[in-house]
Structure 1
């Protein structure tokens, strides 16, 4: 892979790290009377409207084997639940705190890969996972005292997103990324829209949709557009640069979240939260480095006899 393509991939990843917290800010700023499920509907509907026509314009086939339909629904269900938990947490928590807790996801993914995919995991990475979870507890503890179980929701997001990523690992090998994301968004709409239609007027806090007015229209549109564009950037980042090169850059999302949270909501992490963030980032970077070294060892041919 050429150096110019790798540089382009890094730039796409940096753009993702800037845009992703903006999507979270739109979700957090959406008026409380709009249920979280309606925010999800807007987020995935815009993604379908943008990605599927884009795939056709690029000459990509949208055909999907019937055997993959259930996998798309399961993958979408994991992503919908992960996003719902995170958006719910954002209504009560600072963006930087929620994202910091979510970044235990690489550790959960490492452990799940060992349990379900029989991927080898040594004691060093297990120790790094334990240290990373300890850093997350430092972020959770003050929030838990103020918010209760709401502070645990980003952990649920990390768990469900890990399941989503495990499924993505296998499905991405046989599908174009844009088509895969488009089908996932379509499956998410199939899961989210029917309950919203059926529960309209029921008074159920989670499922009764509200006709958006004023700023709510723009915030819902903003969630959908920024989510779609940011994940396209992430897709192209992974296409142009090795995953091991760009994955550590994702921690810059915490920086973007801190800046946006302060400018938009006057939220700023406490000193203890900063310590927890530093521990999570340090442990995460160690896990990425270990993965990179193992990949290099596997790619190195054995010495000639």
Structure 2
């Protein structure tokens, strides 16, 4: 039975609405990293990460209460939910630490190897069929990342590799999410990931208290730093909520390519706030990463699979 014109129009309107929400979400997302970079001059990255998770819990709590899904998680999968929270801590902590030394656009560009890592891990652990074309695209994408990493290594040292660690952490997080998301409410999963993330960060800050570590030793933020921390939480929440509703309205295969707009907005915000623009070599690497990621998404879409999604600055 074919769709009536009214149903077809409604479907198109939903997709258009989802596309609009996704565009706004990816344009807002780099603000998370801009505020984090401003905050990290005086606040340790573990504390910024902890505040991010606490605000996530506060903002999502009313939603899960109204939806009646506060406790809608399988207790048999508690270990996997804990793992998801831990992986988010690794992802956010390493990426925010990177921002103390690297510019936002450079760090995000390197982080965009996440869909490539996810494609490879999916073929290894989930036995997903990956052809030679996508493996080639993965290799080319890593080459593009090296073009961004290599000069960054000379500029800031080993910290330039942290976005790769962050991307790997998010890729594993998404793999675990695939395993537990079949019968779980997404809002409840978001809420509990925030609880576990805040708990793990609290443990790290307790251990790091008094050590003098720039990553783990907590400090009392002043008023300006407090506003930056609030900006991290608000931007992450708004971008995350918009993303959730975008994926409800439109297929992932349609929305996934839009994630690369984030590099554009990150570059614009980085230029406006910090006066930084990537050089020619980094632009070449960024272009290669984008082209590789879009090709992987196109191939997945062509063989009727769900495209991989990589939120650049984990607004999860």
Normalised to the residue count of structure 2, the TM-score between the two structures is 0.90
1:112 pairs with 117, 121, 125, which one?
121
Alpha-carbon separation, structure 1, partners of 2:60 and 2:116: 30
Shift of 1:122: 0.5
2:44 pairs with 35, 44, 52, which one?
35
Alpha-carbon separation, structure 1, partners of 2:224 and 2:122: 42
Judge conservation of contact 1:56–1:62 (CA < 8 Å) in 2.
Answer: no
What is the aligned length? Answer: 296
Alpha-carbon separation, structure 1, partners of 2:279 and 2:53: 33
Q: Within the alignment, does 1:164 sit opposite 2:173 as a pair?
A: yes
User: Structure 2 matches for 1:1-305, cutoff 5 A?
Assistant: 2-295=11-304
| CA gap 1:144/1:199 in 2 versus in 1, 3 angstroms | closer
Alpha-carbon separation, structure 2, partners of 1:20 and 1:112: 25
Shift of 1:235: 1.4
Judge conservation of contact 1:101–1:139 (CA < 8 Å) in 2.
Answer: yes
The Cα offsets for residues 139-180 of structure 1, whole Å up to 9 and x where unpaired, read as 111111111111111111111110011111222221121111
SS, match of residue 162 in structure 1 = helix
Alpha-carbon separation, structure 1, partners of 2:257 and 2:178: 18
Structure 1 window deviating more from structure 2 (194-203 vs 242-251): it is 194-203
Shift of 1:198: 5.0
Structure 1 window deviating more from structure 2 (52-61 vs 68-77): it is 52-61
Alpha-carbon separation, structure 2, partners of 1:198 and 1:116: 34
Normalised to the residue count of structure 1, the TM-score between the two structures is 0.93
Unpaired stretches in structure 2, ≥5 consecutive residues: 1-9, 306-316
Shift of 1:31: 4.4
SS, match of residue 269 in structure 1 = coil
